């Protein structure tokens, strides 16, 4: 299960795939109003509005005082694991238009099979029981993102906060170099349709430092503990032989 908050619409998974493909050529053309955002680990880069930056933990107290009804994920912040990216300076002035990126970085790639929508809904329902917000998975599909055609799971998700505000997010679940990165491109629910093509184009600017290692095979999962066990066994054998040597 995902350990931190993550943040799409159900036109149908086929239509979303077509939209991604149509937007891809345009996504590589950066407008003057955007610039690349790179995470601190340097594992991914995505084009975002020029005044967006990562929210720092030290800014949270002042921000939640100024904007007490923020979506809960925005207020969860551990810089290398999960954090919000947005027009922070405007937020500090009390100007929150509902648009932001939320990033979750995790150890180990995860590869879902079966009914993606049902499995993700189960995860988010468990989170809802914990944090009091509600989450509805509207669509989920496998796709490829960016000029490098990185494999991803694309999810459209509706969020309703405890204050009753509704948001919608285009969630990009992307495996990269043995880790999993989730990027949630969120906006207010009633603005999502107007923002759809812009969000898809933004998603298609995503580039990764390392490609996915692919799904781990059963033999790979077994080999690691077996190899570790063999090393430990050898060390114990060496220690045992040394303990049996006669004293000189």
Residue-by-residue DSSP string for 104-146: EEEES-----S-HHHHHHHHHHHHHHHHS-EEEEEEEEEEEET
Strand partners, 50: none
Q: Are 129 and 150 within one domain? A: yes
Q: Are 121 and 227 within one domain? A: no
Q: Are 68 and 121 within one domain? A: yes
Q: Averaged over 35-39, what is the pLDDT?
A: 96
pLDDT digits (tens, 9 = 90+) for 67-103: 998 999 999 999 999 999 999 999 999 999 999 999 9
Domain assignment present for residue 138? The answer is yes
Domain assignment present for residue 168? The answer is yes
Q: Are 71 and 109 within one domain? A: yes
The share of the chain scoring above pLDDT 90, in percent, equals 63
Domain assignment present for residue 1? The answer is no
Q: Averaged over 122-151, what is the pLDDT?
A: 93
Tell me, yes or no, if the pTM score tops 0.85: no
Query: Cα(140)–Cα(119) distance, rounded to whole angstroms?
Result: 10
Sequence-distant (≥ 6) Cβ neighbours of residue 192 within 8 angstroms: 9, 168, 199
pLDDT band at 110 (very low <50, low <70, confident <90, very high): confident
Query: Which of 45-59, 68-82, 124-138, 215-229 is least confident?
Result: 215-229
What does the mean pLDDT of the chain come to?
A: 81
Domain assignment present for residue 48? The answer is yes
Q: Which two tokens stand for residue 99?
A: 């648009």
Q: Given a cut of 50, is residue 189 above it in pLDDT?
A: yes
pLDDT at site 77 = 95
Q: Are 66 and 183 within one domain? A: yes
Residue 246, domain extent: 217-248
Q: Are 43 and 157 within one domain? A: yes
Q: Given a cut of 50, is residue 29 above it in pLDDT?
A: no
SS3 176: strand
pLDDT at site 243 = 55
Q: Are 29 and 105 within one domain? A: yes
Query: Cα(52)–Cα(101) distance, rounded to whole angstroms?
Result: 9
If you search the block for the tokens 């995790």, which residue do you land on?
A: 106
Q: What is the dihedral of CA 38, 28, 180, 107, to 10 degrees?
A: -30
Q: Are 155 and 242 within one domain? A: no
Domain assignment present for residue 2? The answer is no
Q: Are 152 and 247 within one domain? A: no
Tell me how many domains the chain contains.
2
Q: Are 126 and 91 within one domain? A: yes
Backbone phi, psi, residue 246, to 5°: -65, 145
Domain assignment present for residue 103? The answer is yes
Q: Averaged over 49-57, what is the pLDDT?
A: 96
Of 229 and 241, more confident = 241
Q: Are 208 and 221 within one domain? A: no
Q: Calculate Rg over the CA atoms of the chain.
A: 22
pLDDT at site 7 = 37
């Amino acid at each position: 299960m995902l350990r931190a908050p993550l943040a799409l619409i159900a036109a149908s998974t086929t239509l979303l795939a077509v939209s991604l493909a149509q937007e891809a050529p345009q996504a590589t053309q950066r407008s003057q109003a955007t610039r690349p955002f790179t995470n601190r680990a340097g594992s991914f880069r995505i084009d975002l509005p020029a005044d967006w930056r990562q929210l720092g933990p030290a800014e949270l107290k002042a921000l939640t005082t100024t904007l007490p009804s923020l979506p809960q994920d925005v207020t969860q912040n551990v810089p290398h694991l999960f954090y919000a990216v947005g027009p922070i300076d405007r937020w500090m002035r009390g100007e929150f238009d509902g648009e932001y990126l939320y990033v979750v970085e995790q150890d180990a790639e995860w590869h879902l099979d079966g009914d993606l929508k049902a499995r993700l809904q189960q995860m988010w329902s468990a989170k809802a029981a914990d944090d009091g917000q509600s989450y509805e998975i509207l669509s989920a599909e496998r796709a490829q993102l960016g000029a490098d055609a990185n494999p991803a799971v694309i999810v459209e998700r509706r969020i309703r906060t405890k204050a009753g505000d509704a948001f919608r997010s285009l969630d990009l679940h992307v495996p990269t170099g043995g880790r999993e990165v989730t990027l949630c491109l969120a906006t207010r629910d009633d603005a999502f349709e107007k923002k759809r093509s812009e969000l898809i184009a933004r998603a298609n600017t995503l580039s990764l430092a390392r490609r996915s290692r692919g799904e781990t095979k059963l033999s790979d999962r077994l080999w690691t503990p077996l190899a570790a066990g063999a090393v430990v066994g050898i060390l114990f054998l060496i220690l045992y032989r040394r303990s049996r040597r006669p004293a000189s």
